[in-house]
């Protein structure tokens, strides 16, 4: 097993707004200082949400809880905002004071933030941001990426071993063989070369 999988991650929906509202699922978020209250967010450069944050320097983070559904993760994590309106026929959100949406379903809180520094990480941008608002919605514990894999993500009913490909960056599992050469991880947006073949 890849030792990097032992690092604990949460799951979050990062939302932004330009001419349209948009959001994506991320796991690379952490608080870096408490005074001032600052967070670090890393998102793939190819992500439409990244483009929006670069333009507006603002975003919200909805912290997913243990009651989150796979459908919510699929809506915000398995499609691109470049050609999909992720808020179409979706009512489980409110607008925060910064006029950016936050998710009210399967979340326990949200954070509003303003970017103070941007760092180029190659495939990703790292956004250092001041927290401008933090609101608790309920006391349901936050979900970890590991719990998502074991409890939320649909499982196969087959008793036979099968070939899968595991993203070495975020742990996303692609089921099927072969992995398409142009495949892009729906969670972290890394390409096929970052996937490791395995059997489960």
**Domain boundaries of the chain, sorted by first residue:** 3-146, 155-199
- CB 109 within 8 Å of CB 63: yes
Closest CA to 23 of 97, 78, 96, 65: 78
The number of residues making up the chain comes to 200
Return the pLDDT at 181. Answer: 87
Beta strands in the chain (DSSP E): 12-17, 21-26, 29-34, 37-44, 58-64, 93-95, 101-103, 107-120, 124-136, 163-167, 173-175, 195-199
pLDDT-derived band at 160, boundaries 50, 70, 90: low
pLDDT-derived band at 1, boundaries 50, 70, 90: very low
CATH architecture for segment(s) 3-146: Roll (2.30)
- Residue 67 CA: distances (Å) to CA of 41, 71, 151, 152, 154: 23, 12, 10, 9, 15
Return the pLDDT at 159. Answer: 56
pLDDT tens digits along 18-69: 999 999 999 999 999 999 999 999 999 989 999 999 999 999 999 999 999 9
Q: How far apart are CA 84 and CA 196, in angstroms?
A: 29
CATH architecture for segment(s) 155-199: Single Sheet (2.20)
Return the pLDDT at 25. Answer: 94
Maximum Cα–Cα distance across the chain: 53
Return the pLDDT at 187. Answer: 83
DSSP H or E run through 162:
none
């Amino acid at each position: 097993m890849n030792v990097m999988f032992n690092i604990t991650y949460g799951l979050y929906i990062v939302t932004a707004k330009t001419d349209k509202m948009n959001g994506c699922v991320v796991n690379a978020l952490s608080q870096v200082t408490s005074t001032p209250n600052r967070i670090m967010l890393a998102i793939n450069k190819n992500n439409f949400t990244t483009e929006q944050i670069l333009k507006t320097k603002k975003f919200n983070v909805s912290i997913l809880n243990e009651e989150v559904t796979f459908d919510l993760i699929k809506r915000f994590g398995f499609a691109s905002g470049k050609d999909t309106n992720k808020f179409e026929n979706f009512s489980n959100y409110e607008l925060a004071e910064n006029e950016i949406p936050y998710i009210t379903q399967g979340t326990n809180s949200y954070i509003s933030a303003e970017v103070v520094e941007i760092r180029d990480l190659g495939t990703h941008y790292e956004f250092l941001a001041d927290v401008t608002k933090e609101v608790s919605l309920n006391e349901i514990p936050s979900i970890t990426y590991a719990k998502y894999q074991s409890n939320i993500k649909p499982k196969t009913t087959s008793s036979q071993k099968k070939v899968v490909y595991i993203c070495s960056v975020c742990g996303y599992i692609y089921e099927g063989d072969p992995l398409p050469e142009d495949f892009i991880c729906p969670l972290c947006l890394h390409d096929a070369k970052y996937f490791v073949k395995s059997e489960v």
